[in-house]
């Protein structure tokens, strides 16, 4: 397959004044008639008229009304065109019913819908399917469905047809069409300049009762973007549609966002607190794309982080306001380390702005999204809040309507602040997580921190240059008072020292507060200092981090040296859990242990070979010790943090439930699940029901509840996804592969629905010790199913291959087993480009 390079970018030879599309819908034979007004692009030398097109049957084509016979190529067509403005017209036939890849126009439960990002529009009609070609669209949909939707504002509607006009020039990847017998949850929003906007969430009949939360989240997002970024909505209508079969979470098509139903539908009975928070964040994310992504889009797909990093950062800011800022930050860092650090330190490592790809769908990664957001966060930390706002205002002013680049983005910061961002730009160009080593000395009232940065080689990048790193630091006196409040040190050298004068005694430093940079901090510390910071640090992130380090070190000693549970950790965690002055959500997070993935990463980083079973055993032993030690406290917390008020998915209630359920987790280890059974039986919301069920499964007494749960929820797809995944995730390592395999035989298992496939096989990869079981069964089961899925849905298959990305960490026997599975996948005839690229990169 062909590799595409950033350095080869050239503009398209033509510009488009207007696109007219007519859709004659039919499940197997949809006709798409296009009429596109082209003119030559004065900025482009290459005037070859090439239109992308895949899986299309061309019926006819005309240029300025005259029939033409284009030259057909594998992924498009080429045609001779006049050296002036002209009209291209074509009719194609497509088969949405046969489209299982869920890219282009496809059917989901009898409803037509589209997914065009990144390169799906070429499966709808012949078109320059690249993000730097922007045009206004007029769309006519002909079909018998009750609801016919596209982008922009509604035009004429009649019996069996509807017209839509989108005045804002957009790239083809933001095109959308939906047609089905849907019902809506309506509302309205008045923008700050007084524009009245119609809002709708469209769902299948029966799901109307699950839209209210999403609608509130949408209105809150619209208001927040006006208040914080000065961005107003720009059409008369904003539609959201829930679709069951969807490859990712949601899609920001202009004025017509399409959502995986799991990311928009919510009710207390069927959704957990975590689901509510995620839905709120995704609705915000897609809405915020209206400016960061749609009004200003990307010049090419290498610039994906321009819209995704910025929009993830914006949605995190929004969630911090809607909920608890420290809890959001801690959760984000847990996620960053689990997914992005893992990626950055393995065979799939790539820069936030990659320099080449084979299949762009493989680059919707934690690096582009989450590390991309960290870069925006660092930029804001470096320039300060006021300068950040000034630069972003300039970005909107200067680039509205543009297909922009990272260079454009950094230039507005340089122009607004006068800073030179040459060194900062390396964060976009260099893959790999920097290590920041710190040592310290104290003499005559002066405390000095010595930093040294380095980044290990990553595939294709052996040598790394020094980057600017903002390191937020505060100093505490030995009695726990903060003697130097947080200040941001700008590290610009490979080695650099910072001194603090006038200190009465040697302070305890709190370094990288708020996780001010996505780096691995290497620093000698001991239990006493960690326990001190866990008790006294005023920075909530570092307070949590100290507890996490204490837990991690204790666990590593258990795994490596066969040590017993660490009393320093158990005492410290109990003290924090007992402290009612702290936010319950924070205490629940602090009570959690590092994940198996986190421990495996730490062991590997330290030059060891992680043993997944030993990691699992150590975690179980420590949890059990925690349960013993905190028996009384857990009982007190469980009772004290029961929520009496009617269920609400807000931060306060969900924090209380998180703490009570953390306590339930401990109690269930000692009472065989009796209290969990009671909670399960009396629960009136999914958070409580699922927490009860998972504790019962852990206690080995879940069979009856699992059966009851299925009976209760068998008509609700999204809840049954939880049923599938919980059983696999909670299975003992010895049984995980078999549990997943058995569930694939259940009548409700289907490969055609990505949510269900992920709930079963994705869950197997999440059961770390089960997936990496020494028998190799986990690898085999996953590989078998990926091989079956690839011909149907390459995008989801390729994404799920990343389960194997850590293979080089393990012992020779496991490596050999994984390598054999990777080779078996690669040997499949007609393996998709997506999966071929992923497996080849992982195999190395
Ligand atoms: N911009 C979107 C990314 C995307 C996607 C979404 C659904 C299905 C396939 C997709 N390919 C790319 C989602 C987002 O980041 O908001
Ligand atoms: Zn996005």
The pLDDT value recorded for residue 77 is: 98
What is the DSSP code string of 359-370? -GGGG--HIIII
Ligand in closest contact with the CA of 249: 1
- Give me ligand 2 centre to Cα 102, in Å: 18
Ligand in closest contact with the CA of 250: 1
pLDDT tens-digit profile of 146-201? 999 999 999 999 999 999 999 999 999 999 999 999 999 999 999 999 999 999 99
The pLDDT value recorded for residue 314 is: 99
Residue to mutate (ligand 1; options 221, 249, 753, 755; most atoms within 8 A of CB): 249
- Atom of ligand 1 minimally distant from the CA of 260: 7
Looking at the domain 435-524, which fold is it?
A: Immunoglobulin-like (2.60.40)
pLDDT tens-digit profile of 585-631? 999 999 999 999 999 999 999 999 999 999 999 999 999 999 999 99
- Atom of ligand 1 minimally distant from the CA of 364: 12
- Same CATH topology for 1-181 and 297-429? no
* Dist CA 242 CA 244 (whole Å): 7
pLDDT tens-digit profile of 511-567? 999 999 999 999 999 999 999 999 999 999 999 999 999 999 999 999 999 999 999
Q: Is the pLDDT of residue 336 over 80?
A: yes
**What residue owns the CA closest to ligand 1's atom 7?**
248
- Give me ligand 1 centre to Cα 116, in Å: 9
Q: Span 567-593, mean pLDDT?
A: 97
Number of C-beta neighbours around residue 47 at 10 A: 12
- Longest pairwise C-alpha distance within the chain: 89
Residue to mutate (ligand 1; options 242, 243, 251; most atoms within 8 A of CB): 251
The pLDDT value recorded for residue 191 is: 98
The pLDDT value recorded for residue 46 is: 65
How close are the terminal C-alpha atoms of the chain, in Å? 16
The pLDDT value recorded for residue 339 is: 98
- Give me ligand 2 centre to Cα 252, in Å: 7
- Atom of ligand 1 minimally distant from the CA of 286: 16
Residue 453 buriedness (CB in 10 A; 0-12 / 13-18 / 19+): buried
- Atom of ligand 1 minimally distant from the CA of 282: 16
The pLDDT value recorded for residue 47 is: 77
User: 551 or 43, which is more confident?
Assistant: 551
pLDDT category at 135 given cuts 50, 70, 90 is very high
Prediction pTM value: 0.99
- Atom of ligand 1 minimally distant from the CA of 247: 8
Q: Which residues of 482-508 are buried (b: 16+ CB within 10 A; e: fewer)?
A: bbbebebbebeeeebbbebeebeeebb
Cis amide linkage into residue 118, ω under 30° from 0? yes
**What residue owns the CA closest to ligand 1's atom 11?**
117
Q: Is the pLDDT of residue 119 over 70?
A: yes
- Atom of ligand 1 minimally distant from the CA of 246: 8
**What residue owns the CA closest to ligand 1's atom 14?**
251
Q: Is the pLDDT of residue 45 over 90?
A: no
Query: Quick one: what percent of the chain has pLDDT higher than 70?
Result: 100
pLDDT tens-digit profile of 267-298? 999 999 999 999 999 999 999 999 999 999 99
Specify the CATH class of 714-844 in words: mainly alpha
**What residue owns the CA closest to ligand 1's atom 8?**
248
Q: Span 27-51, mean pLDDT?
A: 94
pLDDT tens-digit profile of 452-486? 999 999 999 999 999 999 999 999 999 999 999 99
Of 139, 238, 243, whose CA–CA distance to 182 is shortest? 243
Query: Where are the chain's structural domains?
Result: 1-181, 297-429, 435-524, 714-844
**What residue owns the CA closest to ligand 1's atom 12?**
117
pLDDT tens-digit profile of 654-666? 999 999 999 999 9
User: What are the angstrom distances between the C-alpha of 279 and each of 217, 324, 373?
Assistant: 8, 16, 19
β-sheet bridge partners, residue 104: 115
- Give me ligand 2 centre to Cα 248, in Å: 10
Residue 349 CB contacts under 8 Å (≥ 6 apart), including other chains: 343, 367, 431, 432, 458, 459
Q: What are phi and psi of 52, to 5 degrees?
A: -70, 150
What angle in degrees, to the nearest 10, is found between the helix axes of 540-561 and 527-536?
A: 150
Q: Is the pLDDT of residue 634 over 70?
A: yes
The catalytic residues are 286
- Give me ligand 2 centre to Cα 371, in Å: 13
Span 297-429: which CATH code? Answer: 1.10.390.10
- Give me ligand 2 centre to Cα 48, in Å: 32
Q: What number of CA atoms fall less than 13 Å from residue 110's CA on the CB side?
A: 10
**What residue owns the CA closest to ligand 1's atom 15?**
308
Residues with CB under 6 A from ligand 1: 115, 117-118, 247-248, 250-252, 285-286, 289, 308, 364
Residue 395 CB contacts under 8 Å (≥ 6 apart), including other chains: 296, 408, 409, 412
Architecture (CATH level 2) of domain 1-181: Sandwich (2.60)
Coil/strand/helix, residue 752: coil
Ligand in closest contact with the CA of 176: 1
Of 452, 814, 795, whose CA–CA distance to 613 is shortest? 814
User: What are the angstrom distances between the C-alpha of 674 and each of 660, 678, 702?
Assistant: 15, 6, 11
Element (H, E) at 692: helix 686-698
pLDDT category at 1 given cuts 50, 70, 90 is confident
Residue to mutate (ligand 1; options 102, 105, 248, 305; most atoms within 8 A of CB): 248
Residue 418 CB contacts under 8 Å (≥ 6 apart), including other chains: none
Dihedral, CA of residue 826, residue 827, residue 830 and residue 831, to nearest 10: -20
Residue 411 CB contacts under 8 Å (≥ 6 apart), including other chains: none
Does ipTM come in above 0.95? yes
- Atom of ligand 1 minimally distant from the CA of 258: 7
* Dist CA 96 CA 103 (whole Å): 10
* Dist CA 417 CA 382 (whole Å): 11
Residue to mutate (ligand 1; options 244, 318, 364; most atoms within 8 A of CB): 364
- Give me ligand 2 centre to Cα 312, in Å: 7
- For the chain, give the mean pLDDT: 98
Of 566, 580, 577, 595, whose CA–CA distance to 534 is shortest? 577
**What residue owns the CA closest to ligand 1's atom 4?**
117
pLDDT tens-digit profile of 413-428? 999 999 999 999 999 9
pLDDT tens-digit profile of 664-682? 999 999 999 999 999 999 9
Q: Span 58-86, mean pLDDT?
A: 97
- Give me ligand 1 centre to Cα 326, in Å: 28
pLDDT tens-digit profile of 346-392? 999 999 999 999 999 999 999 999 999 999 999 999 999 999 999 99
**What residue owns the CA closest to ligand 1's atom 2?**
251
């Amino acid at each position: 397959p062909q590799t595409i390079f950033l350095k080869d970018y050239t503009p398209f030879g033509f510009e488009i004044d207007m696109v007219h599309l007519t859709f004659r819908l039919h499940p197997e034979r949809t006709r798409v008639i296009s009429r596109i007004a082209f003119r030559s692009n004065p900025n482009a030398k290459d005037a070859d008229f090439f239109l992308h097109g895949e899986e299309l049957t061309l019926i006819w084509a005309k240029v300025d009304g005259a029939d033409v016979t284009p030259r057909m190529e594998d992924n498009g067509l080429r045609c001779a065109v006049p050296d002036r403005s002209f009209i291209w017209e074509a009719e194609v036939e497509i088969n949405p019913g046969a489209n299982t890849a869920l890219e282009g126009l496809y059917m989901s439960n009898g409803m037509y819908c589209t997914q065009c990002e990144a390169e799906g529009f070429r499966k709808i009609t012949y078109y320059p399917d690249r993000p730097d070609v922007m045009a206004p669209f007029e769309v006519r949909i002909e079909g018998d469905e009750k609801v016919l939707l596209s982008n922009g504002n509604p035009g004429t509607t009649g019996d069996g047809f509807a017209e839509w006009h989108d005045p804002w020039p957009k790239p083809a990847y933001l095109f959308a069409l939906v047609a089905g017998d849907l019902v809506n949850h309506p509302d309205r929003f008045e923008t700050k300049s007084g524009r009245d906007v119609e809002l709708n969430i469209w769902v299948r009949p029966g799901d109307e009762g699950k839209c209210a939360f999403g609608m509130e989240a949408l209105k809150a997002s619209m208001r927040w973007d006006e208040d914080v970024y000065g961005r107003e909505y720009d059409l008369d209508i904003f539609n959201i549609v829930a679709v069951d079969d969807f490859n990712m979470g949601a899609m920001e098509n202009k004025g017509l966002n399409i959502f995986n139903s799991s990311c928009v539908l919510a009710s207390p009975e069927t959704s957990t607190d975590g689901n509510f928070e995620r839905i709120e964040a995704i609705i915000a994310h897609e809405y915020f794309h209206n400016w960061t992504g749609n009004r200003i889009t990307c010049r090419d797909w290498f610039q994906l982080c321009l819209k995704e990093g910025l929009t993830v950062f914006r949605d995190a800011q929004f969630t911090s306001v809607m909920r608890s800022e420290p809890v959001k930050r801690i959760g984000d860092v847990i996620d960053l380390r689990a997914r992005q650090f893992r990626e950055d330190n393995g065979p799939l490592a790539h820069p936030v702005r990659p320099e080449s790809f084979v299949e762009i769908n493989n680059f919707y990664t934690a690096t582009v999204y989450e590390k991309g957001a960290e870069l925006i966060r660092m930029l804001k930390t470096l320039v300060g809040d006021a300068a950040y706002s000034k630069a972003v205002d300039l970005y909107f002013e200067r680039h509205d309507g543009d297909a922009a680049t990272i260079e454009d983005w950094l230039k507005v910061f340089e122009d607004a602040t006068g800073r030179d961002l040459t060194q900062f730009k390396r964060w976009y160009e260099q893959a790999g997580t920097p290590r920041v080593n710190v040592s310290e000395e104290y003499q005559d009232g002066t405390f000095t921190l010595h930093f040294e940065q380095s980044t290990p080689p990553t595939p294709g990048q052996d040598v790394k240059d020094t980057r600017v790193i903002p390191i937020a630091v505060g100093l505490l006196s030995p009695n726990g008072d903060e003697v130097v409040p947080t200040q941001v040190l700008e590290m610009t050298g490979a080695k650099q020292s910072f001194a603090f004068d006038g200190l009465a005694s040697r302070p305890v430093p709190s370094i990288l507060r708020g996780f001010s940079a996505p780096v691995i901090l290497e620093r000698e510390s001991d239990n006493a200092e960690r326990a001190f910071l866990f008790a006294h640090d005023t920075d909530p992130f570092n307070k949590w981090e100290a507890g996490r380090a204490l837990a991690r070190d204790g666990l590593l000693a258990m795994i490596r040296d066969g040590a017993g549970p660490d009393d320093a950790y158990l005492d410290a965690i109990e003290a924090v859990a007992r402290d009612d002055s702290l936010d319950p959500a924070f205490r629940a997070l602090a009570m959690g242990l590092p994940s198996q993935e986190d421990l495996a990463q730490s062991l590997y980083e330290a030059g060891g070979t992680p043993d997944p079973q030993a990691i699992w055993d150590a975690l179980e032993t420590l949890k059990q010790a925690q349960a013993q030690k905190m028996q009384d406290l857990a009982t007190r917390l469980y009772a004290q943090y029961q929520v009496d008020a009617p269920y609400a998915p807000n931060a306060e209630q969900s924090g209380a439930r998180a703490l009570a359920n953390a306590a339930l987790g401990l109690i269930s280890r000692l009472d065989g699940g009796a209290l969990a059974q009671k909670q399960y039986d009396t629960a009136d919301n999914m958070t409580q029901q699922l927490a009860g069920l998972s504790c019962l499964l852990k206690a080995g007494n879940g069979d009856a509840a699992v059966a009851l749960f299925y009976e209760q929820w068998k008509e609700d797809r999204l809840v049954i996804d939880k049923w599938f995944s919980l059983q696999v995730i909670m299975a003992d390592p010895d049984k995980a592969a078999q549990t997943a395999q058995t569930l694939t035989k259940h009548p409700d298992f289907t490969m055609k629905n990505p949510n269900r496939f992920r709930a079963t096989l994705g869950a197997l990869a999440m059961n770390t010790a089960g997936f990496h079981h020494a028998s190799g069964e986990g690898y085999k089961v996953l590989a078998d199913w990926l091989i079956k899925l690839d011909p149907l849905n390459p995008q989801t298959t390729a994404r799920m291959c990343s389960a194997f990305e850590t293979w080089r960490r393990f012992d020779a026997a496991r490596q050999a087993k994984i390598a054999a599975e990777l080779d078996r996948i690669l040997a499949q005839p007609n393996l998709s480009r997506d999966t071929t690229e992923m497996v080849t990169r992982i195999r190395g």
